[in-house]
């Protein structure tokens, strides 16, 4: 199916050049002589690309482009201006009104065809990417839905096992850890299925005590810390620590990622401690470890997706490099910020801040 191009120009000579060139290249052409006619045509048929003259009677090209970009149906259609204007300010106006490129009059056949092909190819790639993302999201939704049932079965079986009499205390603790971990997996799945993986900035679902949330994460990870003989210390906090505005489930994921990372990269016999503090209407939760830290030349890439850093887990644990980018995404989606510090005497301190509740 041929791609559609709308040509908007009131000069017959320019129209003749473009119709001849683009028609011979196999494109389906639409023609309008002014901005009002262009808007009327695009209300009926949405083209794949628009060639728009700047100087026209009535609506000029700049205003026509602004109106096209304000319409949902044509907001993403690339607009190439056609102009004899060579002043920088005119080119700036073209781009600021929504244009992606421009052709200089008198129009050259080969240049026009090359630019049209380039921008149509970019539009095809954008559509293909959007379709791929949609397919991926649909797959993830199906997978998450299918995973929820076995996780619920784990929770149910764990609870039944905990109710049995004469269970050794060490086994009971392990069952509690399994139950808490499975519950967190279910919360993550429910969050994804509920389309709340990221919250619009400024929109959060409640008032949360970060210290209490951190304490719950510590309880969940204590068995893992004990296996490595790591001292895992629950959050210390000032008495008057205010609550924060955030989604408790998302923030639990943030703390769990930071604590899990700290345990992975801290050698056996080390220490991981949480600390909550408040400053400038922000509440900070920091996770400090006694691990090897991160080389100075790698620190700028700490929260970057796909970054390959040299530190490795200290007991053969798996690490996919996704934890910190997820932390950054979840915190920033709630109006917060993340960071890391590396004390002179060693170790690492990873922290995040969220707005204090009013």
pLDDT per position as a tens digit, 51-103: 999 888 888 889 999 999 998 899 999 999 988 877 677 778 888 889 999 88
Cα gap 92→62, rounded to integer Å:
11
Question: Confidence class of residue 173 from pLDDT cuts 50, 70 and 90?
Answer: confident
Q: What is the spatial order of strands in the sheet that 79-83 belongs to?
A: 28-32, 4-8, 49-53, 79-83, 101-104
pLDDT at 46 (0 to 100): 94
Evaluate whether 290 touches 271 at the Cβ level (below 8 Å). yes
Question: Can you give the pLDDT at residue 278?
Answer: 93
Give yes or no for a contact between 285 and 214, defined as CB atoms under 8 angstroms apart: yes
Residue 342 has a pLDDT of: 94
Which stretches of the chain are DSSP H helices?
Answer: 12-24, 35-44, 61-70, 88-96, 109-162, 169-193, 210-227, 248-265, 323-332
- Tokens 């304490």 correspond to 215
Is the per-residue pLDDT at 200 higher than 80? no
Q: What is the pLDDT of residues 12-38, one digit of tens each?
A: 888 888 898 899 999 999 999 899 999
pLDDT mean over 346-354: 95
Q: How confident is the model at residue 193 (pLDDT cuts 50, 70, 90)?
A: low
- Edge to edge, the sheet with strand 282-289 lists 231-236, 271-279, 282-289, 348-355, 337-341
What domains can you pick out in the chain, each with its CATH number? 4-107 (3.40.50.2300), 202-355 (3.30.565.10)
From the list 321, 78, 308, 357, the residue with the least C-alpha distance to 210 is 357
- The overall longest dimension of the chain from CA atoms, in Å, is 94
Whether the per-residue pLDDT at 201 is higher than 70: the answer is no
275-318 residue pLDDT tens: 999 988 999 999 999 998 989 988 888 888 766 778 888 877 76
Q: Is the pLDDT of residue 323 over 90?
A: no
Residue 33 contacts by C-beta under 8 Å, 6 or more apart in sequence?
8, 9, 10, 56
């Amino acid at each position: 199916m041929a791609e559609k191009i709308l040509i908007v120009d009131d000069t017959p000579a320019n129209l003749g050049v473009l119709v001849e060139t683009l028609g011979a290249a196999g494109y389906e052409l639409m023609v309008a002589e002014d901005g009002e006619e262009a808007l009327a045509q695009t209300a009926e048929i949405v083209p794949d690309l628009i060639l728009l003259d700047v100087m026209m009677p009535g609506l000029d090209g700049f205003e026509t482009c602004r109106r096209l970009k304000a319409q949902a149906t044509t907001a993403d259609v690339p607009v190439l201006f056609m102009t004899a204007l060579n002043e920088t300010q005119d080119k700036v106006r073209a781009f600021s009104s929504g244009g992606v490129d421009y052709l200089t009059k008198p129009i050259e056949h080969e240049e026009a065809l090359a630019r049209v092909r380039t921008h149509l190819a970019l539009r095809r790639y954008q559509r293909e990417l959007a379709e791929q993302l949609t397919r991926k999201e649909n797959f993830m939704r199906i997978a998450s839905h299918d995973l929820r049932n076995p996780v619920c079965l784990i929770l149910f079986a764990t609870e039944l096992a905990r109710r049995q009499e004469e269970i050794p205390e060490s086994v009971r603790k392990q069952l509690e850890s399994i139950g808490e971990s499975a519950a967190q997996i279910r919360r993550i799945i429910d969050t994804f299925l509920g389309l709340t993986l990221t919250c619009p900035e400024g929109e959060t679902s409640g008032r949360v005590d970060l210290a209490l949330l951190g304490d719950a994460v510590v309880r969940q990870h204590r068995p893992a810390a004990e296996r490595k003989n790591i001292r895992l210390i629950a959050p210390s906090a000032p008495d008057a620590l205010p609550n924060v505005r955030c989604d408790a489930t998302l923030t639990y994921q943030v703390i769990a990622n930071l604590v899990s990372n700290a345990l992975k990269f801290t050698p056996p016999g080390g220490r991981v401690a949480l600390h909550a503090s408040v400053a400038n209407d922000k509440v900070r939760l920091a996770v400090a470890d006694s691990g090897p830290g991160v080389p100075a030349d790698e620190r700028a890439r700490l929260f970057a997706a796909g970054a390959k850093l040299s530190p490795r887990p200290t007991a053969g644990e798996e690490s996919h490099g996704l934890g910190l980018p997820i932390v950054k995404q979840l915190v920033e989606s709630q109006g917060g910020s993340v960071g890391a510090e590396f004390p002179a005497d060693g170790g690492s301190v990873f922290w995040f801040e969220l707005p204090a509740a009013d």
